[in-house]
Amino acid sequence: MNVIEHNIKITKAKSSKIENVNWNALGFGKVFSDHIFVVDYINGQWEEGKIIPYSEMAIEPTMCTLHYGQTIFEGLKAYYDINGEINIFRPDKNATRLNNSATRLVMPEFPEEKFLEAISELVAVDKDWIPKERGQALYIRPVMFGSSNFLGVHSSENYKLIIICSPVASYYAAGLKPVSILVSHEYVRAVRGGLGMAKTAANYAASLLAGKEAKAKGFDQVLWLDGVHQEYVDEVGAMNIMFVIGDELVTPTLDQGSILPGVTRETVLALAKEKGIKTSERRIRISEVYDAHERGELKEVFGTGTAAIISPVGKLNYKGREIVINNNEIGPVAHDMYETIVGIQRGETEDTHGWIHKVASI
């Protein structure tokens, strides 16, 4: 268990917006808490960060990020556990990934201990915004961007890191319903040597048209193939992807640099190994997935990500060939992983890995 001390300067909001929240219709990313954390990088160093009321932000029309997209972000969650304590799940992993993204986008790293302190203190200040039901959470969104004003393609001199909090509904208010996924063979999200491994806006911008077209055809999400051969499976829009083929849990390897290294992906792989499930991180052709299905060996397909934790895939459609996986029902591995992870986050299951960071009250 990890507990972090608090010592960031706080300016409290004059009044809270919390009375206006409809807790039964939170959805995702629509409601924001009273405070944010803000810190600036100026003259080659990070200033002291502060917690201030959520408010509008003034920017100049030439702020470089609007033009050249030098921006990165993260996503993690805080939960109330069954003992009424506040847990954050593996925030150190998000700190590391933020800094890996920063390096790829030529941005300054933000020290991990300061990142953890900022998140912990912001969550403590806005603790009333953490929903209490199982599956609900306070989503935490750190975003860092170039804040200098200029035109011309080069990296920014100054940067801003902001952390926002948003109470979110359980992804599965209506049960763990499998999603249907269109395998994109027309568009690509990322290529070897590109930005895929970074959590940066460009990757999401690249996905929008494919997402829109998939939705219009009745699919929930897009599965991306590699950008070089368009043959190997990469990942889903905001999730990593896993297959149970025979008795093995298979997921694409990260070594091509085109896939976001998911915290949930790493968690599931670690748990699977502990549970005695054979795991394999390797390149997987989409044709191998279809062949396995034909042989009756494709037992389960599911996505992993902070938003849904585990998202079973019921249907895959590649070039008009549709396959139904596990009768369009959640399979045993996906279900077990979901329950184990939620159990740890909620304090129902012992955290033997040190994955939970406790938020100290202030």
Ligand X SMILES: Cc1ncc(COP(=O)(O)O)c(C=O)c1O
CB 239, CB 262: distance < 8 Å: yes
Closer to ligand X by CB, 125 or 223: give it. 223
Query: How distant, in Å, are the alpha carbons of 43, 169, 217, 270 from that of 139?
Result: 31, 10, 30, 23
Q: Count CA atoms within 13 Å of residue 99 on its CB side.
A: 13
Report, in Å, the least distance between residue 47 CB and ligand X. Answer: 28
- Buried-state track 101-116, b at ≥16 Cβ within 10 A, e below 16: bbebbebbbbeeebbb
Q: For ligand X, which residue of 264, 326, 340, 345 counts as binding (CB under 6 A)? A: 264
Q: How far apart are CA 281 and CA 158, in angstroms?
A: 38
Task: Please identify, among the stretches 13-21, 153-161, 233-241, 337-345, the one whose residues bind ligand X according to the rule CB under 6 A.
Answer: 233-241
Among 211, 252, 262, 347, binds ligand X (CB under 6 A): 262
Judged by CB under 6 A, the stretch of 3-11, 78-86, 261-269, 342-350 that binds ligand X is 261-269
Comparison of 122 and 310: residue with beta carbon closer to ligand X: 310
State whether residue 41 is helix, strand or coil.
Answer: strand
Contact residues for 56 (Cβ-Cβ < 8 A; gap 6+):
none
Q: Does 234 bind ligand X (CB under 6 A)?
A: no
**Residues from 56 through 95 that contact ligand X (CB under 6 A):** 75
3-state secondary structure 308-331: CEEEEEEEEEECCEEEECHHHCCC
Nearer Cβ to ligand X, position 147 or 304? 304
Total residues contacting ligand X by CB under 6 A comes to 13
Work out which of 235, 249, 293, 298 binds ligand X, going by CB under 6 A.
235
Three-class SS of residue 271? helix
Choices 101-109, 231-239, 270-278, 352-360 (CB under 6 A): range interacting with ligand X: 231-239
Secondary structure (3-state) at 160: strand
Contact flag: residue 305 with ligand X (CB under 6 A): yes
Spell out a b/e string for 20-52, using b for 16 or more CB atoms within 10 Å of the CB, else e.
ebeeeebeeeebbbbbbbbbbbeeeebeebbbb
Regarding 306 and contact with ligand X (CB under 6 A), the answer is yes
239 touches ligand X by CB under 6 A: yes
The residue from 120, 180, 304, 311 that contacts ligand X (CB under 6 A) is 304
Residue 116 as a binder of ligand X (CB under 6 A): the answer is no
Is 69 buried (19+), middle (13-18) or exposed (0-12) by CB count in 10 A? middle
Is residue 202 part of the contact set for ligand X (CB under 6 A)? no
Residue from the set 8, 164, 263, 292 that interacts with ligand X by CB under 6 A = 263
Contact positions vs ligand X (CB under 6 A): 75, 235, 238-240, 260, 262-265, 304-306
